[in-house]
Amino acid sequence: MIKAKYPTDKFQNIRTPFYYYDLDVLRKTLNEIKVLKLPENYVVHYALKANVNPALLAIIKDAELGADCVSGGEIQAAVNAGFPASKIVFAGVGKADWEINLALEHDIFCFNVESTAELEVINELATAKNKKARIALRVNPDVATSTHKYISTGSAEDKFGINREELGNAIDLLPTLKNIELIGLHFHIGSQITDMTDYHNLCVRIHEVQNFFSKRDIHVKHINVGGGLGVNYGHPNHFPIPEFETYFKTFRDHLPLRPEQILHFELGRSIVAQCGSLISRVLYVKEGTSKNFVILDAGMTELIRPALYDAYHRIENLTSDKETEIYDVVGPICESSDVFAKNFELNKTKRGDIFAIRTAGAYGETMASQYNCRQLPKSVTSDELK
């Protein structure tokens, strides 16, 4: 069984569970995008919802990515990490007034607006501050994806974006809103997308939507295609770097930009997933009637993805090289769904062994909870252990 290299000796002295971030993997991931030498009119933003750990944000900011935020808290985290406001975009179906005000005060680059009602509120709040808010209309592209239904966002029945039938109303409203400037169109079809046909379909739809706007003599400078590029959860040791090249090429091949147009991307998972692991200690190995359970000190409170989405995360026993056996790997939380994996092949395991749950850098730490009065997980970076 191939395993990743971890400073396991140093883990022995750290209280588990905790998130471990290999910052060299993050740097390498960002460098893979850099060496692609994307066209000058391509701008990559990092979707903070995937991970807001300051150590990671500092590296991502230094790589000159912009920041895609979905709450006032994320805008604050981006500003604190040093992302320039001129590179912050703000999406979300339910922006509260204080969040809109915070974004206006920082003079962020763009609001991705999801309804006509929101347009009116942003206009009202911008007027009160005597400011002009730059906005992109988030269009629901009605493109189906092959990903999990909880993380698919671009179908007509999803709550996100403005439906095509409603677009005309939004366009009619815009000239009456004096403190709003339409600068772009925004799209996002879902997350953990590995089939590039989904993006090809998105490109076709964007082209149609652009024509719809052009016919009404509206020409926008910015097109934002959202995020969603998937990572390889099954084989993080063999495929640590996402398919950036094929992903960007899909847009180069299928999304013709108009003169002076700028294309924006909002990548979350593909930037940070593979650099993070949840490190946990085995509390007990328990023999059931027909199977054996490994009970970890980490549970769904630290990493909810398996319980919530039935998500697969590769699990490695870092302290055993013994023959393999089959186990159910579970957490200590009082919920039957607190299971990381069923019938999973692991090196023979005993109490005290240290486990790594892989590909946990995205939507791991940010989705942690304090259920059962547990403490939020701490984090350690590879740089700290050097």
Q: Which chain residues interact with ligand LLP by CB under 6 A?
A: 47, 49-50, 68, 91, 151, 153, 188, 191-192, 226-229, 266-270, 305, 309, 362-363
Nearer to ligand LLP, 266 or 316 (CB): 266
Nearer to ligand LLP, 142 or 325 (CB): 142
CA distances from 229 to 64, 210, 217, 271 (A): 19, 23, 33, 9
Query: Can you tell me the distance from the alpha carbon of 22 to that of 80, in angstroms, rounded to the nearest whole number?
Result: 22
Using DSSP, how many helices (H) and how many strands (E) does the chain show? Answer: 12, 16
Q: State the nearest-atom distance from the C-beta of 163 to ligand LLP, in Å.
A: 16
Nearer to ligand LLP, 199 or 363 (CB): 363
Q: State the nearest-atom distance from the C-beta of 262 to ligand LLP, in Å.
A: 17
Q: State the nearest-atom distance from the C-beta of 368 to ligand LLP, in Å.
A: 12
Coil, strand or helix: which one is 331? coil
Nearer to ligand LLP, 25 or 354 (CB): 25
Query: Cβ(183)–Cβ(135) under 8 Å?
Result: yes
Residue in the shown chain whose Cβ atom is closest to ligand LLP: 268
Nearer to ligand LLP, 339 or 354 (CB): 339
Q: State the nearest-atom distance from the C-beta of 49 to ligand LLP, in Å.
A: 6
Q: State the nearest-atom distance from the C-beta of 311 to ligand LLP, in Å.
A: 7
**CB-count burial class (<10 Å; 0-12, 13-18, 19+) for 82:** exposed
Q: State the nearest-atom distance from the C-beta of 304 to ligand LLP, in Å.
A: 8
Nearer to ligand LLP, 227 or 354 (CB): 227
Q: What is the dihedral of CA 359, 363, 365, 369, to 10 degrees?
A: -130
What is the Cα 356 distance to its own chain's centre?
Answer: 21
Query: Cβ(317)–Cβ(351) under 8 Å?
Result: no
Coil, strand or helix: which one is 88? strand
